[in-house]
Amino acid sequence: MHVALDGVGHRFGRSGDWLFRSLTFAFRPGEVYALTGPSGSGKSTLLSLLAGRNRPVEGAIHLTGIDRVSWVFQNPFGSPRRTALDHVALPILARGESAPAAEEQAHEFLARFELESVAHRPFGDLSGGESQRLMLARGLASRPSLLLIDEPTAQLDRRTAERVDAAIAAVADPSTIVVVATHDARTRDACTGLLDLGALGGSGAG
């Protein structure tokens, strides 16, 4: 399984400025890649291209062995009255697991992100850091081949962001490719790989 960028370039409109060009990079499972670069460099756009929502203007993106894509957005969202456990169990149930099996696995994911203590707390009562870590747990619970995470610490204070950064390591999974778009140097350092859109040439090798 892998995702390969082959000379990828993108811009909006025929005369728009290029966000990036000649991107050649390979993403592999078991790694958590930081996607970095200054504002306007195209981090969220590249996530959208990886998700297949748009096609690059130049080059190609090759997805091999990718059967499910999950996206964790910048702003956590959920059902205010549903518990944290419910939010993680739902994608497991959607995979066809029984209710008891889904609940057991959901508890395991919550423990992985240090959320067992809030398992039965409504989503609306969670703190910003708790809700963001819950989104990471829910995203991974869907068993995606490719997990995209957009600016997970952008709306958090420094102390809360540090807990989310620590949780980034828990996202690493041998059957999942993880790409984290971030402007935060500490989040970048919590990842195991790097694609910097601000670097000259905007290219690299995974």
Residues of the chain with CATH 3.40.50.300: 1-68+144-206
Q: Mean of the pLDDT values across residues 144-159?
A: 89
What is the token pair recorded at 100?
């008891």
Nearest to 150 by CA among 71, 62, 57: 71
Verdict on whether the full-model pTM lies above 0.85: yes
How many residues make up the chain in this entry? 206
Alpha carbon distance 86, 106 (integer Å): 8
Q: Which residues contact 167 (CB under 8 A, 6 or more apart)?
A: 113, 114, 133, 136
Q: Residue 204 above 90 pLDDT?
A: no
* pLDDT tens string 55-80: 999 999 999 999 999 999 888 889 99
Domain 1-68+144-206 has CATH 3.40.50.620: no
* pLDDT tens string 176-186: 999 999 999 99
**Residues 17, 35: contact at Cβ < 8 Å?**
no
Q: Mean of the pLDDT values across residues 154-176?
A: 85
Q: What is the radius of gyration, based on Cα positions, of the chain?
A: 17
